[in-house]
């Protein structure tokens, strides 16, 4: 309780003395700090390697507008954190080792280049045997389907929404053993294929899968290699994908809240058993989902 002392801090016409002004200033500062913390967003782990994520501080724009940033001609997520503009950049698995750069466009029309360095990472090799030979060597009819589906999937992964993501760290879509499968150089039936672009999580068929963060369903389909699949847009080029599902309980356009069920685990498409292939794409680059998991978050 603040004590009043007549003739000292109590003034005429409702004015306040130095002590009351100090308390008022402190309360205002605490309010500003609380508002700042309320809007702070937890960042993913940084890993400056192919398939990783880098966070780069940008030059402040004189008009206070959100900077526009591109990497490999793709728009990049930009957030405001602690009064700083930060670019959150996904690095593709095909990125060359060494110096890379992003380009920031200012409202005055200038281009500012920010450089960063990518280190090498040696991903392991995985050899798998697929009993359905067509899933390794598709026939002519299969190829027609695959080419059509490839365009649909590419469009989903390239999707951009200016609305910011509500979360940049995720809860796990299912519980289960997580393989360190991201980036594996895969060999099917003795034939090299593209590196694995997601995390495999083992679970029984029918296990419910939940949305790891708020988002919008932008694609649902049954694809030759991926089987039953769902793609969720979380904002500013952050897309998650869920592959090999047994059943799907959402449709395109659905607005999802963190924790909503999107389907169940299955073994559709090219698989060796039931599991969830969970992928994360940032500025159309497939990145390691482990960098976004809350329970694997490390201090920056």
Q: Give the pLDDT confidence of 20-70 residue by residue, as tens digits.
A: 444 444 444 443 333 344 457 899 999 999 999 999 999 887 567 889 999
pLDDT band, very low/low/confident/very high, at 130 (cuts 50, 70, 90): low
Domain contains 92: yes
Domain contains 39: no
Same domain (yes/no): 63, 135: no
What is the model's pLDDT at position 66?
A: 87
Q: Which contiguous run of DSSP H or E holds residue 33?
A: helix 18-39
Mean pLDDT of 82-99: 94
Strands 185-188 and 191-192: antiparallel
Domain contains 11: no
Same domain (yes/no): 98, 143: no
What is the torsional sign of CA 46, 48, 53, 56?
A: positive
Mean pLDDT of 108-130: 83
pLDDT band, very low/low/confident/very high, at 179 (cuts 50, 70, 90): confident
Distance (Å, whole) CA 241 – CA 235? 14
Distance of alpha carbon 220 from the chain centroid: 19
Cβ-contact 69, 75 below 8 angstroms: yes
Mean pLDDT of 209-237: 97
For the entire predicted model, the pTM comes to 0.80
Q: Domain ends where: 118, 138, 165?
A: 118
Same domain (yes/no): 145, 103: no
pLDDT band, very low/low/confident/very high, at 220 (cuts 50, 70, 90): very high
Same domain (yes/no): 138, 66: no
Same domain (yes/no): 211, 285: yes
Distance (Å, whole) CA 50 – CA 62? 33
Same domain (yes/no): 60, 151: no
Average model confidence (pLDDT) across the chain: 83
Least Cα distance to 85 among 108, 113, 65, 115 occurs for: 65
Question: Any idea what the CATH number is for the domain that residue 109 is in?
Answer: 2.60.40.1590
Question: Any idea what the CATH number is for the domain that residue 185 is in?
Answer: 2.70.70.10
Domain contains 10: no
Same domain (yes/no): 284, 222: yes
Condensed to tens digits (0 to 9), the pLDDT of residues 185-215 reads 666 666 555 677 899 999 999 999 999 999 9
What is the number of structural domains in the chain?
2
Domain contains 190: yes
Most confident of the following: 3-12, 109-118, 254-263: 254-263
Same domain (yes/no): 79, 95: yes
Distance (Å, whole) CA 49 – CA 51? 6
Domain span at residue 132 reads 125-296
DSSP at 134: G
Q: Between 250 and 298, whose confidence is greater?
A: 250
Same domain (yes/no): 77, 179: no
Q: Domain ends where: 74, 95, 118?
A: 118
Domain contains 4: no
Cβ-contact 263, 228 below 8 angstroms: yes
Distance (Å, whole) CA 211 – CA 222? 19
Same domain (yes/no): 92, 136: no
Domain contains 36: no
């Amino acid at each position: 309780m603040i004590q009043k002392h007549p003739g000292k801090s109590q003034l005429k016409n409702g004015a306040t003395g130095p002590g009351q002004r100090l308390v008022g200033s402190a309360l205002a500062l605490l309010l500003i700090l609380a508002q700042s913390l309320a809007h702070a967003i937890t960042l993913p782990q940084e890993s400056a390697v192919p398939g990783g994520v880098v966070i780069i501080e940008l030059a402040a724009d004189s008009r206070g507008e959100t900077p526009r940033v591109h990497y490999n001609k793709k728009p990049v997520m930009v957030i405001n954190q602690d009064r700083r503009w930060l670019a959150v950049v996904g690095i593709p698995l095909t990125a060359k080792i060494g110096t890379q750069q992003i380009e920031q466009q200012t409202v005055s029309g200038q281009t500012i280049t920010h450089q960063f360095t990518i280190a090498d990472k040696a991903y392991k090799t995985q050899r798998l045997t697929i009993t359905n030979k067509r899933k390794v060597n598709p026939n002519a009819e299969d190829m027609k389907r695959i080419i059509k589906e490839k365009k649909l999937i590419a469009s989903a992964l390239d999707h951009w929404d200016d609305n910011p993501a509500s979360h940049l760290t995720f809860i796990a879509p299912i519980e289960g053993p997580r393989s360190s499968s991201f980036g594996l150089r895969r060999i099917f039936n003795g034939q090299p294929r593209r590196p694995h672009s997601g995390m495999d999580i083992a679970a029984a068929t029918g296990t419910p899968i939940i949305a790891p963060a708020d988002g919008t369903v932008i694609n649902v389909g049954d694809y030759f290699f991926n089987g039953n699949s769902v793609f969720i847009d979380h904002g500013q080029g952050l897309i998650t994908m869920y592959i090999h599902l047994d059943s799907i309980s959402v449709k395109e356009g659905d607005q999802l809240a963190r924790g909503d069920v999107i389907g169940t685990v299955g073994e559709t498409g090219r698989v060796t058993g039931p599991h969830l292939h969970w992928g994360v794409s940032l500025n159309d680059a497939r990145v390691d989902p482990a960098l976004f998991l809350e329970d694997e978050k490390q201090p920056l």
